[in-house]
Amino acid sequence: MMQRTRLIGLLSRTAARQPIQQWAQPISIRTFTSAPKTDSQAPRSVSVTKDKNSPEVAIFTLHQSAFSHETAKLMLTEWKAMEQDPSIRAVMLKSDLKSIFCAGIDFKEFLKGPESFAEYWRSIRHIFDTIYSSRLNTAASMHGHSLGLGCVLGMACQDRFMMGAVPKPGTIGLNEVDVGVPVPHWLVELFAMITSRRHAERFLPLGKILSVREAHAIGLVDKVDFSSQEEMDEFVVRYLAGRSTAPPVAQAETMRVIRLNFLKFFRDSEEEDVQTITKYVQQEEAQTILKGQLAKLAAKAKKQ
């Protein structure tokens, strides 16, 4: 409770340092697409911008709800490029999708065979590693549903924010069990570190999806009293700018030490993790559930 009180105080102090109107317009520094460059109408997968009035804060935006392997590789490449820009001190991770931050792994990736999925899962691990070990201050502005991989991306960041006051707020959770796949060991440990081991025991074996208020109550989300995505994004940029006033080398080294033990466990267990999840994804139970989910999505798409 004492730690939560101190965090809330920090959120309020850093957010109050700048007026909201200064943070309204970002400037583009990098924009990428998974489609050929000749196709000007192709949807973008990810884009990176700098806030106009606070260019030390980058805004990393997702433009696709389901995470394909191509999107994963692009995200990894562009995050690393952003990491190497010395003018950037912080990153807000968000999406521009209606009611969705990230819907998780594209179900089609589960059905491509063990070798393809193993390579894909390595890419997901590398994305997590890159964000979790980043020298940058990181925060997720999660305006909508954040399921599976969406929750993982949020947990990779130092802070997570969601809207709880809107008519239909989003949801968040690790729903792997619900699609027939066990939650990986490192994700269990991370969820337990952020919330508690008791909460991990209660929710993860059920594939439980939490409401914004439930997530806030267990510490998975840090602040939820926003009435719009714009208000939340403006707050997060101000918050990150406030955190970025600390001396950069000392700040980055301190965060590295804080996250060092978990990263060592995460990296040392890579081969076991890849082999284990690939094995379970290929089992009949998971494949049956995943194919059923794809059929539902296809039927829904036909109705629209």
**Closest to 251 in 3D by CA, of 78, 46, 13, 90:** 90
- The Cα 303–Cα 298 span in angstroms is 9
Place 45 in a pLDDT band, splitting at 50, 70 and 90: confident
Cβ neighbour number for residue 18 with a 10 Å cutoff: 17
The alpha-helical segments, DSSP class H, found in 157-204 are 185-194, 197-203
Residue 208 lies in a domain: yes
Confidence at 234, pLDDT banded by 50, 70, 90: very high
Q: Pairing mode, if any, of strands 66-67 and 57-62?
A: unpaired
Average pLDDT over residues 207-212: 96
DSSP symbols for 137-161:
EEEEEE-SEEETHHHHHHHHSSEEE
Check residue 299 and give its pLDDT. 76
| pLDDT value at residue 58 | 96
Q: What's 168's domain CATH number?
A: 3.90.226.10
Band of the pLDDT at 26, cuts 50, 70, 90? very low
* Mean pLDDT, range 120-127, rounded to an integer: 95
Altogether, the residues listed in the chain come to a count of 304
Residue at 274 is within a domain: yes
Task: Please report the pLDDT score of residue 114 as a whole number.
Answer: 93
Tell whether 13 is covered by a domain.
Answer: no
Confidence of residue 36 (pLDDT cuts 50, 70, 90): very low
For residues 51 and 237, give the distance between their C-alpha atoms in angstroms, rounded to a whole number: 8
Residue 2, domain member (yes or no) = no
Tokens found for residue 58: 């980058």
Cite the beta strand spans of 9-148 per DSSP E: 26-32, 46-51, 57-62, 66-67, 90-95, 100-102, 104-105, 137-142, 145-147
**Does 73 map to a domain?**
yes
Determine the pLDDT at residue 11: 54
Percent of the chain beyond pLDDT 90?
67
Q: Write the DSSP symbol of residue 250.
A: H
Does residue 211 register a pLDDT over 50? yes
What is the reported pLDDT for 296? 81
**How many domains is the chain built from?**
1
Query: Where does 161-247 have alpha helices with state H?
Result: 185-194, 197-203, 212-217, 229-243
Higher pLDDT, 203 or 18: 203
Q: What digits encode the pLDDT tens for the residues 241-295?
A: 999 999 999 999 999 999 999 999 999 999 999 999 999 999 999 889 888 888 8
Average pLDDT over residues 4-8: 47
CA–CA distance, 30 with 48 (Å, rounded to integer): 5
- Predicted confidence (pLDDT) at residue 131 exceeds the cutoff of 60: yes
Tell me the whole-structure pTM to 2 decimals.
Answer: 0.85
pLDDT reading at 27 higher than 50: no
User: Residue 20: what pLDDT?
Assistant: 35
- Domain residues for 53? 46-298
Tell me if 223 is assigned to some domain.
Answer: yes
Distance set, CA 294 to CA 109, 110, 111, 179 (Å): 11, 11, 10, 11
